Amino acid sequence: MSIASEFREFAVKGNVVDLAVGVIIGAAFGKIVSSLVEDLIMPLVGTLLGGFDFSGLAIKVGGATIKYGSFIQTCVNFIIIAWAIFLMVKVINRLKRQEEAAPEAPKAPPRQEQLLEEIRDLLQKR
């Protein structure tokens, strides 16, 4: 088997395609949550803190500027994003558990089979 055919077989497997779709959807969801954090939540937090913005905090050491406020802002964003993803996964897991817990009612056999079973039972009694 050639390298090209092995690669083609690998690339079209379901797991690789599922992973690619997951990465693309994850990136899109990440952008939505980042916008939620940066455009909606952090302005409210800044307002509640009296207009305070972490990203402006910095100290100068010699010729270097250490932007520790930007680091704090990134950590806060991460915590909010992680919380949003946790809640989303929790909802999805709850829906999956409800689907799994719902017992399927056993299906009644078709009418023709019921009649055949009745005939069989009558013949066995004779």
pLDDT: which is higher, 15 or 89: 89
Contact 43, 80 (CB under 8 A): no
CA dihedral 6, 8, 9, 10 (to 10 degrees): 90
Residues 6+ apart with CB under 8 A from 74: none
What superfamily would CATH give domain 3-104?
Large-conductance mechanosensitive channel, MscL; domain 1 (1.10.1200.120)
The domain segmentation of the chain, as residue ranges, is 3-104
pLDDT computed for residue 59 by the predictor? 92
Q: What's the pLDDT tens digit per position in 5-60?
A: 888 777 777 677 778 888 888 888 888 878 887 888 878 877 887 777 777 889 99
Residues 6+ apart with CB under 8 A from 29: 85, 88
pLDDT computed for residue 7 by the predictor? 80
